Amino acid sequence: MAEPHTRLALTKYLARYCRGVGPVIAGFLFDAFGQQAEQVLRNDPERAVAEVNKIAKRNVLAIEAADEASQTLKSMANESETLI
């Protein structure tokens, strides 16, 4: 079984590979979903947007950016464990 990803590793991965998701938004995603942040953004971008914007108390993540990030993460699904 794989080791759990650290906050730093997961936020760096999301910020690097998901256009529109910088370090701050990646941190919000981790705060909202913990180890599942990448999976939620990949599979349920609308939920990711709602939670991030609730935590940020303003609209910092647009649905368009989350949808694009979702598509990127889906295309990289086989490599994500290695890249994180």
User: pLDDT tens-digit profile of 12-66?
Assistant: 999 999 999 999 999 999 999 999 999 999 999 999 999 999 999 999 999 999 9
Residue 78 scores a pLDDT above 90: no
Residue 82: pLDDT over 90: no
User: Which pTM was predicted?
Assistant: 0.89
pLDDT in the model for residue 2: 64
pLDDT reported for residue 77: 86
Exposure on the CB side of residue 77, measured as CA atoms within 13 A: 9
**Helix H segments across 1-84?**
7-17, 23-33, 37-43, 45-56, 63-75, 80-83
